[in-house]
Structure 1
């Protein structure tokens, strides 16, 4: 049986899994992400591969990583909570340690690829994923391929300016700043005169369920601001499907609330019926998508078939 070692590199934990070619997790776990530096990180990854190599004949290693990932060179640009992974030939270094083929992809892109392979966009050849959390990011997927853009910023939806462009600093009203889960929480804290960090997203929804008027009004505004951005993306990109990811997407009322607001954004000119769906995968999305990326770019060696899971 062909097996693959897959890693999801996060700021707090490195998740790992042994997976087969159909995207099934055979074994797995997680370890704290080393804080000491690159050498300890590489040794940890190598040790995990060695541990499972006793039981599996690995065809390669697939990585999901934060940052502006260059999938061809294996370098990770940008910034993240793990400074030492940036600016080094990550895939080459892991390949040298293990002797295995290695691929790497951005974590948000991995989540989107997972949805197209086995999830909510399985039958769709053109879709976008919008990930809502501390900021707003996402991916554009065409024929199972990420649209990266000339500067690797394809899918960075959170940079859209949503406020008045004539205000003193329009960049203070980007979609991430005004419509993310963080913005929702921060707004409720400010209106209730609470210190920053007092609440989280779950707290805000719990307050609303208990009848808190500030929380209820803030959530209603949250849906409206998300709907406006989604409207813009639909008319700009016109994808077949729009998927919503991030922890907040697991609340069915969020998807319903956004769709209710989208229904209002119609007139005699803007007639499209725009709807969103929740992403199907959660904790394992990055692992599944990282494997899909590996199989896709290595398919001459692996014999991978995009439709194999349906047979």
Structure 2
């Protein structure tokens, strides 16, 4: 049976799946991401591919990876929690070991492509994804292609400076002010708690229990997210704005952002701006990586 080997490389785990050309998972699993270096990493990938090549007619390998991925050369620039994957041609290394065609794409871009192929942006020509987590990142997608920018920084929305700062302007970026991490830090600071005491889930639980500080900080988060989204809408004017990251699974978050966006409309700013949650969660990077492989290699099934 023809199939594709798909990997989602993360700092803690490497998730993998054997998928058909409609993104149905035929087999799947995960392994800890090796800490020892590049060689164990390559060997683990190769062993998994060879294992499934006994049962499936594998057409190629699709990778989702952190970092500034150059899809043309297969090199991974930038930095991530896996230092050894940077500065090497990952696609060539794996092709040499497996004999299969290999594609690679940035993980955030994979998540965005998954939404356009089979998810919340299906049949949408032009959309952006804003991923909210430890920081804020995202992707710009036009006609099923990622707008990468001259230095592969297209979609790095978290670097937007939101206000002046007495210390340094980069201390007031969108990531610094409106990420899940920023929310947690602010609640910890205001409640005089040690750093690392709370998680994002803890903050929302406190708010649900009536904690006034947690409620106020969440309300402020919605305002800051709405301002950044407003700016992106007027700068890029996409058809759709999707919100990803763990926080996006909370309907109250999507409603809170949209309520704040509605407040920004007046006789000068007349656009109806709203956001939707991404459809995919844990499998988004796998689905998007497969889509990228199929598109790059002009395979059937898209």
Confirm whether residue 61 of structure 1 aligns to residue 37 of structure 2: no
Paired residues for 1:141-290 under 5 Å: 141-164=141-164, 167-290=166-289
1:21 positional shift? 0.4
Per the normalisation by structure 2, the TM-score is 0.99
Q: In 2, Cα distance between the equivalents of 1:305 and 1:127?
A: 22
2:256 alignment partner, SS class: helix
Q: CA RMSD in A?
A: 0.8
TM-fit CA distance, 1:86: 0.3
Q: Secondary structure at the match of 2:266?
A: coil
Report the counterpart of residue 94 of structure 1 in structure 2: 94
3-state SS of paired residue (1:239): coil
1 CA distance for matches of 2:202 and 2:66?
27
In 2: Cα distance, 1:207 partner to 1:69 partner = 39
Shift of the alpha carbon at 1:132? 0.1
Task: Give me the TM-score of the superposition, normalised by structure 1.
Answer: 0.96
After TM superposition, where is structure 1 displaced by more than 4 Å over at least 4 residues in a row?
A: none
Looking at structure 2, the residues matched to 39 and 161 of structure 1 have their Cα atoms a distance apart, in angstroms, of 40
Q: Give the conservation status (yes or no) of the 8 Å contact 2:21–2:301.
A: no
The whole-number CA distance in structure 2 between the counterparts of 1:25 and 1:220 is 39
Structure 2 residue 57 is the aligned partner of structure 1 residue 82: no
CA distance in 2, matches of 1:203, 1:227: 22
Deviation at residue 123 of structure 1 after TM alignment = 1.5
State the secondary structure of the residue aligned to 2:238.
Answer: coil
Q: Name the SS for the 1:283 alignment partner.
A: coil
1:37 corresponds to 2:48:
no
Give the 3-state SS of the residue equivalent to 1:28 in structure 2. Answer: strand
Instruction: State the 1:169 CA deviation.
Output: 1.3
Cα deviation per residue 1:66-122 (whole Å; 9 max; x = unaligned)? 000000110000000000000011100000000000000000000000000000000
Q: Distance in 1 between matches of 2:72 and 2:136?
A: 25
Q: What's the secondary structure of 2:150's corresponding residue?
A: coil
CA shift at 1:208, angstroms?
0.2
CA contact (8 A) 2:22 2:301 kept: no
In the comparison of the two structures, how many residue pairs are matched? 302
Distance in 1 (alpha carbons) for counterparts of 2:94 and 2:30: 18
Q: Structure 1: 5+ residue runs without aligned partners?
A: 307-311
- C-alpha separation between the residues in 2 aligned to 1:282 and 1:77? 25
Which residue in 2 is equivalent to 1:140?
140
Secondary structure of 1:48's partner? helix
